[in-house]
Amino acid sequence: MENIHPIFDRILDRSQKERLLKQRAAVIWMVGLSGSGKSTIAQALEKRLHQDGCLTQLLDGDNLRSGLNSNLGFSEEDRRENLRRSAETAKLFLNCGIITICSFISPTAEVRERAKSIIGEADFLEVHVKCSFDACAKRDVKGLYAKALRGEIKNFTGLDAPFEEPQNPWLQLNSEEESEEACVELLYTKLIQRVKTQQD
């Protein structure tokens, strides 16, 4: 590390970029089981914000695993590294003044706390998309639950790998009992008050 010389103190700061974009940046960190609706809600939220003139970036777990994190597997160590890199990426967008929507299972309190420490507590908006394992298994939009229940996928979150529900998220959306539209509306309504504060 002795040959690394960061220049953070000599580059344009975030507030200058937020003024240019007329928005306040934030990282919406959406967590929940596979199939809970995280990505679907995130996509709908991004479109809604875009219609309002907000500059956004959506970071999805599968997308990052096909590029930036393509060298990582699903061991506990690799999962932690996957989320560390994802949080560092989100922080880069945050510092550009961009509203960044992240969709990751983020199964444990430990990995979520680490992501929060990288991004910064003030800008880390944890959204728990709550949906039971059984309900997600019935949806099984990717066919993963069927494979996991047959023993073809090991360390599957919620089955033979833990999922620790967030205890005090910024917002909880119950996608098992509420429609996608209702979840998006609830999230949008709470978020827009925060990110639009610099529009006037």
Across the range 174-193, mean pLDDT stands at 96
pLDDT of 182 higher than 50? yes
Per-residue tokens: 146: 């069927």
Query: What is the spatial distance between Cα 102 and Cα 86, in angstroms, rounded to a whole number?
Result: 8
Domain count, the chain: 1
Note whether residue 199 is domain-resident. no
Note whether residue 1 is domain-resident. no
pLDDT tens-digit readout, 96-141: 999 999 999 999 999 999 999 999 999 999 999 999 999 999 998 8
Domain of residue 117 covers: 8-193
Residue type, 138: K
Residues assigned a catalytic role: 106
Q: Model pTM greater than 0.85?
A: yes
pLDDT tens-digit readout, 160-170: 888 999 999 99
Band (pLDDT 50/70/90 cuts) for residue 46 is very high
pLDDT of 198 higher than 90? no
Across the range 22-44, mean pLDDT stands at 96
pLDDT at res. 76: 81
pLDDT at res. 9: 63
* CATH number of the structural domain spanning residue 73: 3.40.50.300
Note whether residue 144 is domain-resident. yes
Note whether residue 133 is domain-resident. yes
Across the range 172-180, mean pLDDT stands at 96
Evaluated on CA atoms 165, 157, 37, 98, the torsion sign reads positive
Note whether residue 104 is domain-resident. yes
Note whether residue 2 is domain-resident. no
Note whether residue 198 is domain-resident. no
Query: What is the spatial distance between Cα 135 and Cα 138, in angstroms, rounded to a whole number?
Result: 5
pLDDT tens-digit readout, 49-95: 999 999 999 998 778 888 878 888 888 888 889 899 999 999 999 99
| Surface-to-core class of residue 48, CB atoms within 10 Å of its CB (0-12 exposed, 13-18 middle, 19+ buried) | middle
Least Cα distance to 106 among 165, 66, 51 occurs for 165
pLDDT at res. 88: 96
